[in-house]
Amino acid sequence: MIEQQKIDYERIAEAIIYIKQNFKAQPNLEEVAEKVKVSPFHFQRLFTNWVGVSPKKFLQFTSVEYAKQILKEQRTTLFETAYRTGLSGTGRLHDLFIKIEGMTPGEYKNGGQNLNINYSYAQSPFGNILVASTSKGICYMAFSNQKEQAFDTLKKRFPNADFNQVVDRIQQNALFIFKSDWKELNQIKLHLRGTDFQLKVWDTLLKIPKGGLTTYGSIANYMNKPKASRAVGTAIGNNPVAFLIPCHRVIQSTGEFGQYHWGNTRKTVMIGWEAAKTNQ
């Protein structure tokens, strides 16, 4: 068993290296499987179990990461970026960015330029928060006792966006989450950017009932990625919307609450507060 795991690991490592070195040629499943000397069917399953995403998704992520580097070169056109990434054209580049980054290549290149973001500060049972929104929904929410520091973090996510300190209806709907009667909530809209895997993890978090808890492994199993607990943990750590996307409801399999981006004490208080509210 151990020997087979070692062989599988070496095959996956070889496949990852091959994809990273040859992604501009956009190799298909059969090509990569042949490289590591297994059938395409077996390779698809093996790679997905080990990496947490399919070979095709991994190739897409690799292509987009390279395209992001190129787009930081201010004089590079979208057509040239698509060509250098090995994609068939700007349409393919556009589709990949929308799917993986949640924004167009032009929006990424411009750092959120022409994107209008409203933001405001509010109080919650767990401390002060900054909440930000676009016309599509909440794009960021974080706990912070220092307003300037919170705003600086927001600006780093969207360095070229236009910011307005305004309270809008989208933010107000989101802040209803802190009311004790959750049945009064209007539909909360989110405007998120992330990889396909991150978005799936965050969507799964939204399915955890208020007052409920789950584990990293349970989320991985729910997503049919039983070996991706570590990748799930990374995606949870990158959650840009505190409390609304309830990463605080995820604990370790041992029963310990574990780490939390906005403070372990705050996580403990949140879990206790929600349990009390749901038992009223």
Rounded Cα gap, residues 225 and 270, in angstroms? 28
Rounded Cα gap, residues 239 and 245, in angstroms? 7
| Backbone angle region of 67, left / alpha / beta, with phi > 0 → left and psi within -120 to 50 → alpha | alpha
- Give per-residue pLDDT as tens, 189-222: 788 777 778 888 888 888 888 878 889 988 998 8
Rounded Cα gap, residues 107 and 93, in angstroms? 13
Rounded Cα gap, residues 207 and 264, in angstroms? 22
Q: What is the pTM of this model?
A: 0.60
Q: What is the Cα 128 distance to its own chain's centre? A: 24
Q: Which residues does residue 123 pair with via DSSP β-bridges, in sequence order?
A: 128
| Catalytic machinery residues | 247
- Give per-residue pLDDT as tens, 2-11: 566 667 777 8
Select from 214, 199, 190, 192 the least CA-distant residue to 53.
199
Q: What is the pLDDT along the chain (280 residues), one digit of tens a residue?
A: 556 666 777 787 788 788 777 777 787 888 888 888 888 888 888 888 776 667 877 776 666 665 555 555 545 554 444 444 444 444 444 444 444 445 555 555 555 556 889 999 998 888 889 999 988 888 899 998 889 999 999 998 888 788 999 999 889 888 888 875 555 455 677 887 777 788 888 888 888 888 788 899 889 988 888 888 888 998 999 899 999 888 999 988 877 888 888 888 888 888 878 776 665 5
